[in-house]
A and B are shown apart, each in its own frame.
Chain A
Amino acid sequence: MSFREFEYADGKSFKFWMIDLQGTDIVTRYGRIGTNGQESKKSFASEEKARKEFDKLVKEKTRKGYVEKDDTGATETSSRSGKGAKKATETAATSSEGALSSLLFATTRDGQFESLNNFIGERVADFREGKKPPKNKTVFRVRVSYEEMDDMGGDEPDFNKRMKAFLESDAALQTRGLIIGAYDVEGGVTSKDAFVAQITKHKDRLPELKALFLGDITQEESEISWITHTDVSPVLAAFHNLEMLRIRGSSGLQFSKPMHDKLRALAIESGGLGAEVVKQVLRGHFPELEYLELWLGTPDYEGDCRVNDLQPLFKGKLFPKLKYLGLRNAQIADDIAAVIAIAPIMDQLETLDLSLGTIGDLGANALLQLGSNRTLRRLDLHYNFISKPVQKQLKKLPFPVDVSDAQIEEDEEFGRFVSVSE
């Protein structure tokens, strides 16, 4: 295979990388998805040397988390043939039926939260009442911030008023992706009862809603443990076409009626996710779920989930379409590694993401057993506590393994910490 094409998406970037081996030349093209990007060419003394460099570059990209595009998949874009930029964006974000590309589900690489620039493949536009929303936008964020207070002569912006104005605007009618940021400038909490009630009451104003992010809040605005939520089941019940739900913070969060016929991606980012919430999700009915990301956190911040609580998930079959499983930021990551490495669910997963956790060599050793796995295409172990020799062994697995940002256990007494807690 001399031509290969890769894509990468998270909250900060949305980009492609292509490589073509032409005899002794290597041509690469890279840039933001939806643009033609830049091309660069390098020549080598022999075909063998060029092939070696080709393999090295491909390995480097896959290790960084780039995902190879499926030739037959819905993510097919026209970037390869270099057609118009707009066309490529559309095809990247949607398939023929308007479904989201699964590539767009992941948005948060680590705990260095910044306000999202990209969401479901489009630049995020902040909605402000009184200002005309940009044309042709389908991704909006509603939030209030301190910075605005200067513009408003010291007055505090009102979230509920802004939300109301958004729901009344034409922009809402086209919105496919909605992001809820800080709810008030003081504590930056979000998704109070008022908000869930507001959007479910006016669900007819959001007929195109496919993706919802509750809590796009940076650490500067609020620690993750201060972000409060409520029962989000009314949202699931109101928006039948929702495909993706991402939630940051888990204090007060509940799924009293965990069911949705079309939801494909569910992510909960937390410094400590209560076992009760995890159990609610696992008792749920989500037949289309492809992507499940849970930040389990630490018991110091209510993260009391044990590996035993995850057993119904590890059995497989619970979510028959599940391809990505992220059990991230987990103090119990070593326990998870010991069990999931030999669990039936591994026969359906393409990505296992145990990043931001406290995996040491014992957990990592268990994961070495995945060598005979036939479905896995990526193992993400970035930010863990794995030693250099074991990292080396992991890299020999027959799929890309991300062991970057490895931490060192400095103090025997205090042990290992997850990436995000408070």
Chain B
Amino acid sequence: MHVDESLSLAGKTKLNKLPKRLSCYELDASKTGLQVLPDELTVECELRLDGCRKLAALPRNLQVGTLSLVGCTALTSLPEGLDVWFLDVSGCTQLTSFPRKATIAHGSLNVHSCTSLMSLPNYLTHLGTLDISGCPQIAELPPGLQISSWIEIADSGLRGLLKRMQGIGIRWRSVLIDETIAFAPHRLRATAVVKEKNAEKRRVMIERMGFDRFFKDAGAKQIHSDSDPGGQRELLRVPLQNDEDIVCLSVNCPSTGRHYLLRVPPKMRTCHQAAAWMAGFDDPKLYKPLKET
């Protein structure tokens, strides 16, 4: 069966088989019940199988411009001989490895939240963009890899870029950051955070430093303090230029003894008011916890 143009079967949840020798320009079979695809399948431009939760295997030597497999949670491997420009396997949480031989080049590779994925294959050499965010086990990049434009790294295990990659964009949940923020957050100082004009970037810098270190380093001012079952608690403030102040309630958990800095609206004046706000009370007088654990 040959289709000159695009074929869309998306959402046909009962579909569990494609005709043999199907060929088309584009095929969208997202959210279908497909478990396997026929070996003779030919798709020229784009094959979309997003959300096919039963999909277990793809044909060997599959060659297509764009292959999208977002959230194919049953998929544990990709086919040998795969040849693609754009590959999106984000959310394929069971995917553990790449094929031994394959070509993934020129376009982009997105392995966002492939939490079981241990590493990237060495045959990756030229990519436009790479997204490894949410892959805590990926600690390094293939030595021969060159990236044209940007790499997205939030919550990945990556510890640094390759030397040749200088000049490419480093993104943290879409926000452009520099190598210090990305790989050496321990060297970040609160003064740099306060000076940073871009609010998105500032947010990432604080996330990377952690509230605790940021507040200490910034010399946060105490607005109020009292005590609760966890011990002493404080309401702390760091003023920011061109943005609302950062105000946090510093508390200890009465059960575990762990220390927490919890961000609250900048209008808060007392620890109790802040605690009430967190519990969902706009009027602090109404917040009378019987017991805090």
Contact = CB atoms under 8 A, between A and B. Distances in A.
Interface in B25-67: 25-26, 44-46, 65-66
A366 interface: yes
B213 interface: no
Interface string A314-353: 1100000000000000000011011101111000000000
Contacts of B66: 308, 311
B128 interface: yes
A343 B4 CA distance: 25
Nearest to A339: B128
B97 interface: no
B148 A341 contact: yes
Nearest to A340: B128
Contacts of A43: none
Interface in A343-372: 343-344, 361-363, 365-366, 368-369
Contact of A311 (B4, B85, B149): B85
Contacts of A148: none
Interface string B100-130: 0000001110000000000000000010110
Given A283-B5, A309-B45, A311-B65, A342 B198 contact: no
B45 A312 contact: yes
B25 A283 contact: yes
B86 interface: yes
B45 A279 contact: yes
Contacts of B5: 279, 283
Contacts of B275: none
B141 interface: no
Nearest to B48: A308
Contacts of A314: 85, 106
Given A308-B86, A363-B149, A338 B65 contact: no
B150 A362 contact: yes
Contacts of B149: 334, 337-338, 362-363, 365-366
B197 to A, nearest CB: 9
B261 interface: no
B81 interface: no
Given A338-B128, A365-B167, A311 B107 contact: yes
B136 interface: no
Given A283-B5, A365-B149, A339 B107 contact: yes
A412 interface: yes
Nearest to B167: A365
Contacts of A362: 149-150, 168-169, 176
Contact of A338 (B44, B129, B176, B199): B129
Interface in B138-152: 146, 148-150
B213 to A, nearest CB: 26
A95 B199 CA distance: 59
A312 B46 CA distance: 10
Interface string B193-236: 00000111000000000000000000000000000000000000
A365 B166 CA distance: 10
B148 A339 contact: yes
A366 B128 contact: yes
B257 to A, nearest CB: 41
8 contacts: A279-B26, A283-B4, A308-B86, A311-B46, A335-B129, A338-B108, A339-B128, A369-B148
Given A307-B86, A311-B66, A339-B128, 8 more contacts: A312-B44, A338-B108, A338-B149, A338-B150, A362-B149, A363-B149, A365-B168, A412-B199
Interface of A: 279, 283, 307-309, 311-312, 314-315, 334-335, 337-339, 341-344, 361-363, 365-366, 368-369, 412
A-B pairs with lowest CB-CB distance, top 10:
A338-B149, A338-B128, A311-B65, A366-B148, A339-B128, A308-B66, A362-B169, A366-B149, A338-B148, A342-B126
